[in-house]
Amino acid sequence: MDLFGNLFFGFGVALSLQNLLYCLIGVSVGTLIGVLPGIGPLGTIAILMPITYSISPVGALIMLAGIYYGAQYGGSTTAILVNLPGETSAVVTCIDGYQMARQGRAGPALAIAAIGSFFAGTVGTLLIALFGPPLAEVALKFGAPEYFSLMLMGLVAAAVLAQGDMVKSLAMVVMGLLLGIVGTDVNTGAQRFSLGITELTDGIGFIVVAVGVFAVGEIINNLGETSERVVFNSNLSHLFPTRDDLRRSIGPILRGTGLGCFFGVLPGTGPAIASFSSYIVEKKLADDPSRFGNGAIEGVAGPESANNADAQCKFIPMLTLGLPASGVMALMLGALQIQGIQPGPEVMTMRPDLFWGLIASMWIGNLMLVVLNLPMIGLWVKLLALPYRLLFPAIMAFSAIGIYSVNNSSFEIYLTALFGILGFVWMRLGFPLAPMLLGFVLGPMVEEHLRRAMLMSGGDPTVFIRRPISLAFIIATVLILIVMVAPAVRKRRVEITDNAT
Amino acid sequence: MKLELSDNKDFWAGLMLIATGAATMYIARNYAFGSTLRMGPGYFPTVLGGILILFGLYILVSGLRSRPPPNPPPQSASKTRVNALMPGEGGEGGSWSLRALIGLPVAFVLFGVLMTYAGFVPALLVLIFGSALASPQFKLAEVLLLSVILTALCVALFVWGLGLPYPLLGGS
């Protein structure tokens, strides 16, 4: 069958010695920063992106993706052992995972989290392989109006479903779109917002924005807080879950995987939403809900599967439609563009090695996390003792060198500093930052498709509702907005996001 | 009233958006607007600037309407900590450090200047030392040691290892 032929081909690509190495580096770095609070996958991927210039597009993407799902894995490790979620997605895992650790059952909790994640990762991989090609086929027929409507839907959904204030998220998308059009207008050659600065005629660098906001801005913010970490000394001698643990976990893992896949393809819903929903479902279904919060293994198995499934399925819209569904996916898209590959449905036919190689590598990476990393947990946790005051200067140094190495330009260093300040101010004013990045990446494309659609239709804006596929996206956009503005949902949403953060 | 406003996050957020939107529209007025059929370079930014102003007004008004409680409830220690350390989510409560807000960007800018005029090693030393200086937990001996070790590591990794063509000492 075609599916297996393609997957087989993908494994051929991913199993090359070089790509295996990139995958290993990726998941190891990912686990590391997942364990370390104060630096997340967004910042890390942005900082490391310049290094990927010199390696092949496949290798680059394999490594960056590894950082992403490796971080989820590392985040749950600290959630269980130290009650500190290294990543947002692991917040829910803290509830029961840490209780299990306190009861001396950290080993089984970690093991079931790994097993659940691995299972979810496998299903996610299969789903991408199954639904990727047909989706891309549909997308190949899209014209400018369809793309514009699709991006509109993606951006609105990403802003509205993300955590934080809805209006502020939408405003940040617009802010990103505006930042994205700085530089030379491709249609007319006119300079826009470059303020007479030569370096700005090519636009603001993607990495400048990402590193400025997610690394420098984040550190400025972190330094304002005093933090100390206490590592809970847990008995890690027996790693294996009991037969009873396994029996209890099968259901939650299956349901969590399903929920994660569902939320995964929706734009904007972070892994925190998927894992939180899974936790709620498991608690509702349990015959004795009071066990939850006191070390129920279901409360670890479900959410951990959900957040990993979510992480994998986020790749579906990015790889097939060129539509990033989260901040990390926006970075991946940027990485592709930097490598000279225009994201979209063509990727699958023009660069099958990239598509299938990446998918296969995700499965291999998940396996690496279980086989290589699970036994090394003790080592990772030791790194928690590393104080932040020693860590952040290193992050600053890597950020600066990374930015400088892109164009050997001091100007970009200054610009990054500026975006650090902006990022900090935005954060303090309660603006979520990921929507800005999405808008920034898509900005030029949104404008381009809008212009083309208008030219095609002779300036008639009804073109967006006269073409069926485009109409469907517009209706979906309006529905999302209506549903989210409805008072009942709004209240519920606030509850969920409050609880999830 | 003034004191209340200085605490009102939404008020300032709205104001920031309005200012950005207005500035955008002001700059974009020099670009050809075109028509809906043939959009000029000014079309898209002008429209986006307008949308930004609308969002700003909404947030500003909602900020003025909801008065913040006079004494915000103290956040539990653990919650603040998690907020602070969550990447990309923005720590909203809690304190912030002017020292960091000034120190880190300045250290960054100095790195840029020194890369042009003094070379990789001095630029890195200043960046690392300057960054550490911005932390409230600054310890001189520790930071000196850290600067030297980190710089050596970076030289080994980036210049010798990855072969980045930067002079260790001296301008480029």
Domain ranges across chain B = 2-69, 98-161
Of B10, B51, B151, which has the smallest distance from its Cβ to A174's Cβ? B51
Question: What is the tens place of the pLDDT at every residue in A93-103?
Answer: 888 888 888 78
Cα–Cα distance list, A355 to A15, A30, A347 (Å): 14, 21, 7
Question: What is the tens place of the pLDDT at every residue in A394-429?
Answer: 889 988 988 888 888 899 999 999 999 999 999 888
Q: Which of A225, A421, A447 to mutate to test the interface with B (most CBs of B within 10 A)?
A: A225
Query: Is the pLDDT higher at A232 or at A359?
Result: A359
Please, which residues have CB within 8 angstroms of residue A322's CB and are 6 or more apart in sequence? A333, A342, A343, A344, A345, A347, A445
Average pLDDT over residues A445-471: 86
Cα–Cα distance list, A4 to A130, A346, A380 (Å): 10, 21, 36
Q: Tokens 């027929």 correspond to what residue?
A: A141
Paired strand residues for A191: A184
Q: Tokens 């967004």 correspond to what residue?
A: A42
Confidence bin at B108 (pLDDT 50/70/90): very high
Cα angle, residue A94 at apex, residues A297 and A250 outer, rounded to 5°:
25
Paired strand residues for A184: A191
Nearest CA in chain B to A167: B55
What is the structure's pLDDT at B13? 92
CA atoms of B158 and A215, how far apart (whole Å): 19
Q: Which of B11, B37, B38, B89 to mutate to test the interface with A (most CBs of A within 10 A)?
A: B89
- The answer for A 102-141 residues in CB contact with B (under 8 A) is none
What is the structure's pLDDT at A162? 67
Query: What backbone torsions phi and psi does residue A160 show, to the nearest 5 degrees?
Result: -75, -35
Confidence bin at B68 (pLDDT 50/70/90): low
Say yes or no to pLDDT of B53 above 90.
Answer: yes
Nearest CA in chain A to B138: A389
Say yes or no to pLDDT of A14 above 60.
Answer: yes
Nearest to A160 by CA among A382, A402, A435, A387: A435
Question: What is the tens place of the pLDDT at every residue in A376-403?
Answer: 777 777 777 777 888 889 889 988 988 8
Say yes or no to pLDDT of B69 above 70.
Answer: no
Q: Which H or E run contains A223?
A: helix A218-223
What share of chain A has pLDDT > 90, as a percent? 9
What is the structure's pLDDT at A270? 65
Q: What length is written for chain B?
A: 172
- The answer for B 35-74 residues in CB contact with A (under 8 A) is 35-41, 44-45, 48-49, 51-52, 55-56, 58-59
Q: Does A259 touch chain B (CB under 8 A)?
A: no
Confidence bin at A339 (pLDDT 50/70/90): confident
* Type of residue found at A414: Y
Of A214, A225, A451, which has the smallest distance from its Cβ to B39's Cβ? A451
Query: What backbone torsions phi and psi does residue B39 show, to the nearest 5 degrees?
Result: -75, 130
Q: Which H or E run contains A175?
A: helix A166-180
Q: Does B33 touch chain A (CB under 8 A)?
A: no
CA atoms of A188 and B32, how far apart (whole Å): 10
- The answer for A 32-91 residues in CB contact with B (under 8 A) is 37-43, 51, 54, 83-85, 87-88, 91
Q: Using the beta-carbon criterion (under 8 Å), do A410 and B27 form an inter-chain contact? A: no
Confidence bin at B1 (pLDDT 50/70/90): very low
Q: Using the beta-carbon criterion (under 8 Å), do A181 and B80 form an inter-chain contact? A: no
Say yes or no to pLDDT of B80 above 50.
Answer: no
What is chain A's mean pLDDT, rounded?
A: 82
Domain that holds residue A287: 2-232+240-500
From chain B, pick out residues whose CB is under 8 angstroms from the CB of A434: 88
Average pLDDT over residues A305-323: 86
Side-chain half-sphere CA neighbours of A185 within 13 A: 22
Least confident of A57-61, A364-368, A369-373, B117-121: A369-373
From chain B, pick out residues whose CB is under 8 angstroms from the CB of A393: 127-128, 131-132, 143, 146-147, 150
Say yes or no to pLDDT of A44 above 90.
Answer: no
What is the structure's pLDDT at A500? 47
Average pLDDT over residues B48-63: 92
What is the structure's pLDDT at A22? 92
Q: Does B76 touch chain A (CB under 8 A)?
A: no
Residue A163 structure tokens? 């955590």
Q: Which of A214, A220, A422 to mutate to test the interface with B (most CBs of B within 10 A)?
A: A220
Of B12, B100, B112, which has the smallest distance from its Cβ to A224's Cβ? B100
Average pLDDT over residues B8-16: 89
Say yes or no to pLDDT of B165 above 90.
Answer: no
Average pLDDT over residues A463-485: 85
What share of chain B has pLDDT > 70, as a percent? 78
CA atoms of A84 and A416, how far apart (whole Å): 30
Say yes or no to pLDDT of A142 above 90.
Answer: no
Nearest CA in chain B to A185: B41
Average pLDDT over residues B109-135: 91
Q: Does A196 touch chain B (CB under 8 A)?
A: no
Please, which residues have CB within 8 angstroms of residue A191's CB and are 6 or more apart in sequence? A183, A184, A185, A201
Average pLDDT over residues B47-64: 92
Nearest CA in chain B to A434: B88
Q: DSSP secondary structure string, B25-45? A: HHHHTTS--B-SSSB-TTHHH
Please, which residues have CB within 8 angstroms of residue A450's CB and are 6 or more apart in sequence? A144, A148, B39, B44
Say yes or no to pLDDT of A343 above 70.
Answer: yes
Average pLDDT over residues A221-238: 62
Question: What is the tens place of the pLDDT at every residue in A435-448?
Answer: 898 888 888 888 88
From chain A, pick out residues whose CB is under 8 angstroms from the CB of B78: 83
A112, with CB counted inside 10 A (0-12, 13-18, 19+), is buried
> The whole model's pTM is what?
0.81
CA atoms of A125 and A483, how far apart (whole Å): 31
Average pLDDT over residues A46-52: 84
Say yes or no to pLDDT of A272 above 80.
Answer: no
CA atoms of A220 and B97, how far apart (whole Å): 8
Query: Is the pLDDT higher at B57 or at A384?
Result: B57
A220 CA: distance to closest CA in chain B (Å): 5
What is the structure's pLDDT at A177? 93
A312, with CB counted inside 10 A (0-12, 13-18, 19+), is buried
Q: Tokens 């090695």 correspond to what residue?
A: A353
What is the structure's pLDDT at B172? 62
Nearest CA in chain A to B83: A501
ipTM of the complex in this document: 0.83
Residue A370 structure tokens? 């279980």
Residue A29 structure tokens? 């770095």
What share of chain A has pLDDT > 70, as a percent? 90
Average pLDDT over residues A242-270: 82
* Dihedral over Cα of B7, B10, B14, B17: its sign: positive
Q: Does A451 touch chain B (CB under 8 A)?
A: yes
Confidence bin at B84 (pLDDT 50/70/90): very low
Nearest CA in chain B to A447: B44
Nearest to A117 by CA among A356, A371, A316: A371
Q: Does B7 touch chain A (CB under 8 A)?
A: no
Confidence bin at A111 (pLDDT 50/70/90): confident
CA atoms of A450 and B48, how far apart (whole Å): 13
Q: Does A153 touch chain B (CB under 8 A)?
A: no
Least confident of A20-24, A102-106, A358-362: A102-106
Helix ranges (H only) for A429-467 are 434-457, 463-466
Nearest to A26 by CA among A358, A302, A472: A358
From chain B, pick out residues whose CB is under 8 angstroms from the CB of A428: 9, 90, 92, 96
What is the structure's pLDDT at A460? 81
Q: Using the beta-carbon criterion (under 8 Å), do A88 and B39 form an inter-chain contact? A: no
Q: DSSP secondary structure string, A67-122? A: HHHHHHHHHHHHHHHHS--SSGGGHHHHHHHHHHHHTT-HHHHHHHHHHHHHHHHH
What is the structure's pLDDT at A163? 65
Say yes or no to pLDDT of A27 above 60.
Answer: yes
Cα–Cα distance list, B62 to A52, B71, B89, B92, B129 (Å): 45, 20, 22, 18, 43
What is the structure's pLDDT at B125? 93
Nearest to A45 by CA among A356, A328, A318: A328
What is the structure's pLDDT at B48? 93
Confidence bin at B23 (pLDDT 50/70/90): very high
Average pLDDT over residues A456-479: 86
Nearest CA in chain B to A457: B37
Please, which residues have CB within 8 angstroms of residue A448's CB and are 6 or more apart in sequence? A144, A186, A187
Indicate the number of domains in chain A: 1
Say yes or no to pLDDT of A206 above 60.
Answer: yes
Query: Is the pLDDT higher at B108 or at A248?
Result: B108
Q: Does A230 touch chain B (CB under 8 A)?
A: no
Nearest CA in chain A to B145: A390
A-B Cβ pairs (cutoff 8 Å, strict): 247
Q: How far apart are the first and last CA of chain A?
A: 44
B27 CA: distance to closest CA in chain A (Å): 7
Average pLDDT over residues B49-72: 80
CA atoms of A322 and A447, how far apart (whole Å): 15
